[in-house]
Amino acid sequence: MDCCRDCFVDRWLREFIQRKSVRTGECARCRNEAPLIGTDELSPYFEPLIDSYVVRPDGQPLAVALQKDWRIFSPGIDGAALVREILGVGEEVLFCARPSSGGISLDAWGELKEELVKRNRYFPDSAISLPVMEELVAPQLEKVLAGDAYYRARIQPRDETFTAAKMGAPPAGKATGGRANPIGIPYLYLASDEQTAISEVKPQKGAVIAIARLVAAGDQALRVIDLVSPRDSITPFLQPSKVLSLRATVPFIEALDAELSTPVQSVDATLDYLASQYICEMFKKVGYHGVRYRSSVGGGVNFAFFDPQLFRIEGELRFVQVTSIAIAADDYPPA
């Protein structure tokens, strides 16, 4: 029986079906008009994945386990029926995940954070493996950018009118430590839209904001690590031989996403950003141009680019004045 690209949310499967399909029609499963493929054509790609599970009476149906671990099937799709057709495994057979191994565990990430702050700054005993970062984590999160525009905002002092020269990254040696950059090493922090760029500088009412639009200075495509909704990027089909290591690493990737996206009080930033700076320097070391991460204050996304010279300002600066600030407050649980 056929299935279609829209039966899955897994990015690798969607791209594979789009590429391999030779016909388009209405999918009998999701009723979408989409590229179709026979379920038997997917079997060779699911078989290595099933090897990461073991049959156990206290387990769960394979489709449930796969969805829990990897978010493979689209909402509303009968994953059990697809698994039965692809692998010949029915719901009566119960599975448990084999113990995950290798990769970067959440415990290892916690140990590194504590060591960088309290014991060893430059040669930590709990250092994360550079090959693991390059060969396991980075391929799962790589995103290629080309032709996009980005925005940078700065609060303008009362006695000065900013020019384009004031809208770049700080000079080397002058940069304060940030979410991604170590102290003294300038990265260029940009946003996907003007409103997010303004929100990120946390202006007060009445402040005048200078906004620059930036584009890539050359024709080079930019390779970034995308930490926005990492579960949507991670796929077990890209690296089938590393499924156990990848499963162990997923919680670390989600924690890193939260680490970059969540602001800290400025008094704590010097120490609290050490671990995320360490990881970003690793991404830079293995050849990436920056990281993409969620904004906690705006509706768009943020970027930290490792080389400010990759960008130029396009057009004139725009100046806006903040006329109102919206505040939302949630209950804070007592200690």
Domain for residue 332, yes or no?
no
pLDDT digits (tens, 9 = 90+) for 197-220: 999 998 999 999 999 999 999 888
pLDDT tens string 150-159: 999 999 998 8
Strands (E) across 93-187 are located at: 94-97, 142-145, 149-155
Residue 66, pLDDT above cutoff 70: yes
Are both 266 and 144 inside the same structural domain?
Answer: yes
- Over residues 221-231, the pLDDT tens digits come to 999 999 998 98
Residue of 142, 184, 177 lying closest to 275 (CA atoms)? 177
Q: What is the mean pLDDT of residues 308-331?
A: 84
Whether residue 333 is predicted with pLDDT greater than 70 in this model: the reply is: no
Pair (74, 111) in one structural domain: no
197 and 64 in a single domain? The answer is no
Query: Could you tell me whether strands 208-216 and 318-321 are parallel, antiparallel, or unpaired per DSSP bridges?
Result: antiparallel
Domain range holding 277? 106-321
Task: Judge whether residue 260 has pLDDT over 60.
Answer: yes
pLDDT at 268 over 70: no
Tens digits of per-residue pLDDT, 160-189?
888 999 999 999 998 988 889 999 999 999
Asked, for residue 334, whether it belongs to a domain, the answer is: no
56 inside domain: yes
Q: If we measure between CA atoms, which residue out of 151, 168, 144, 161 comes closest to residue 300? A: 151
Mean pLDDT of the chain: 91
Q: Are 295 and 312 in the same domain?
A: yes
pLDDT band at 328 (very low <50, low <70, confident <90, very high): low
Same domain, 251 and 199: yes
Residue 157 lies in a domain: yes
Of 100-109, 115-124, 168-177, 318-327, give the lowest mean pLDDT range: 318-327
Q: Is the pLDDT of residue 335 over 70?
A: no
**Are 261 and 124 found together in one domain?**
yes
Give the chain's domain count: 2
Tell me if 329 is assigned to some domain.
no
**Beta carbons within 8 Å of 316's beta carbon, 6+ residues apart:** none
Residues whose CB falls within 8 Å of the CB of residue 192, separated by 6 or more in sequence, listed in order? 150, 151, 300, 301, 302, 303
Check residues 272 and 113 and name the one with the higher pLDDT: 113
Structure-block tokens of residue 214: 């930036």
| Per-residue model confidence (pLDDT) at position 107 | 93
From CA 319, how far away is CA 304, in angstroms rounded? Answer: 23
Answer yes or no: do 196 and 227 share one domain. Answer: yes
136: its two tokens: 């396991």
The reported pLDDT for the residue numbered 100 is 87
What's the average model confidence in pLDDT over 280-308?
94
Sheet holding 23-26, edge to edge: 2-4, 33-38, 23-26
Q: Which of 69, 97, 125 is the last residue of a domain?
A: 97
Residue 43's pLDDT band, with cuts at 50, 70 and 90, is: very high
Q: Are residues 75 and 144 in the same domain?
A: no
Last residue of a domain, one of 97, 115, 149: 97
d(CA 180, CA 281): 8
Q: Is residue 119 part of a domain?
A: yes
pLDDT of residue 329: 54
Give the model's confidence band at 257: pLDDT under 50 very low, under 70 low, under 90 confident, else very high: confident
287 and 177 belong to one structural domain:
yes
Is 235 domain-assigned?
yes
pLDDT at 284: 97
| 280 and 190 inside one domain | yes
For residue 181, the model assigns a pLDDT of 93
Do 130 and 264 share a domain, yes or no?
A: yes
Same domain assignment for residues 26 and 162: no
> Which one of 97, 124, 158 terminates a domain?
97
Residue 206 lies in a domain: yes
Phi, psi of 130 (to 5 degrees): -65, -40
